[in-house]
Chain A
């Protein structure tokens, strides 16, 4: 298979994983593996910014300790951090050269056997979320076609991550909506049970549920759920206090 064909196949493979419920780490690991297979590089890793802004390694083509440490150190300095801060590619930095501003990273990378490093931004519409890091242990430069291909991989990974984040947000909102509606339904049901058993109006039943929750430092919805599932018998609720103002925060019907 030609190199172009492998590249296309890889991009299609990555796009195929962008279905519902894909696993981000799995996708990113696939991507770093493909970088090593397809591009002229020895090792690859993906670093993503945490909500606090720190770069953290999300996937790596190898779990070798020497490589893992090279990612960790880049929370403070290195090609990924430079790339993430500027949003611009950092390519073909020769580790032996003296003009690198990475006093900790450069010697350690050299010691691990690498000769050059590269970092490509994970960027969409002005937002940089991390960087794709490539290491070479061979002499010579990473050619332009490889740089372009690496950037294409980084772009796919960026889209995957942003899509995943949007989907998580949606799920969270949906859970909140479901919980809010479920809570409300169970409180109304409990009002019915208490109202029927104690001969109270819905408003009085609500007040009794609410007072019981307050007096026992329980959540109203938990008291209501206990009434509805039978684990809490209505007679064991605290009695109504007649002087209590009975204007509930929720409408009575």
Chain B
């Protein structure tokens, strides 16, 4: 990996300083260095994404939100397959994939999407998402930059956590990121309503969000706000309690 590339990225990051906007700045540097329309960083573990460290704009946020809700998309694939996942023409792909993810992402303005695994050595933390508002592949230079950016991003996330008290998430990640805690609260509530494990409850929430064309977070908000219950299954679907 060319050291001058890494140096340039680190200089950009260092110039941005620390503090509350550290995570936001990380994504801005990723988008600027890679020369794309927007960037986002998702942390993942096993089957369930943990949430978002940062994203640069509403489209990046939606790309992350869709993947969190649907469990499919470039970041999810990049993480699970441990390699870059490139879709240079999302509206007219050679091989259609991500049947649920693609229409809303295209509608929001993402015409090319790219996922790069966030990894250091054998460790995998999540994925870096880049999108362009025009179709077209990444140039060799952009691709090389993205690989370095994903590694730098992974190290930056770990370094942020380095000073946190044991068992607690670093303040920068806590305030700058979005870990969708309401979804986990809703999982607990649905688990109690249905007398099932939280893993299954999470899957039910996700299925309901998909079936009703809402985000997982919106559905979770309704559950926690006690406007939606999952324990009346007579209709096969949870009934809204209004």
Which residues of A are in contact with B by a Cβ distance under 8 Å?
20-21, 167, 170-171, 173-174, 176-185, 188-197, 202, 221, 228, 234, 251, 253
Instruction: With both chains docked as a complex, state the minimum distance between the C-beta of A235 and any C-beta of chain B, in angstroms.
Output: 12
Q: Tell me the total A-B contact number using a CB cutoff of 8 A.
A: 101
Query: Are B125 and A197 neighbours in the complex by a CB distance under 8 Å?
Result: no
Given known A170-B120, A170-B158, A180-B161, contact A196–B167 (CB-CB < 8 A): no
User: Which of A174, A183, A195 is the one whose CB lies under 8 Å from B167?
Assistant: A183
Which of A20, A167, A193 lies in contact with B192, CB distance below 8 A? A193
Stretch of B11-19, B28-36, B107-115, B181-189 contacting A (4+ beta carbons < 8 Å): B181-189
A192 to B158 CA separation, bound complex (whole angstroms): 29
Most buried by A among B43, B170, B185, B187: B185
Binding site for A on B (CB under 8 A): 43, 45, 50, 120-123, 125, 155, 157-159, 161-162, 164, 166-170, 179, 181-182, 184-193, 198, 224
Sample (15) of A-B pairs whose CB atoms are under 8 Å apart: A20-B122, A167-B121, A170-B120, A170-B155, A173-B158, A174-B125, A176-B161, A181-B45, A181-B179, A189-B191, A192-B184, A228-B191, A228-B198, A253-B185, A253-B224
Q: Are B188 and A189 in contact (CB under 8 A)?
A: yes
Task: Pick the contact of A176: B50, B164, B185 (CB < 8 A).
Answer: B164
| Interface of chain B: mostly helix, strand, loop or mixed | helix
A179 pairs with B182, CB closer than 8 A: no
B145 CB to nearest chain A CB (Å): 22
Inter-subunit contact A195/B120 (CB<8 Å)? no
CB nearest to B48 among chain A residues = A185
Additional pairs, 18, CB under 8 Å, beyond known A180-B168, A180-B170, A192-B185: A170-B123, A173-B159, A174-B158, A176-B166, A177-B125, A177-B161, A188-B181, A188-B184, A188-B185, A188-B188, A192-B191, A193-B189, A193-B198, A195-B185, A195-B188, A197-B192, A202-B224, A253-B224
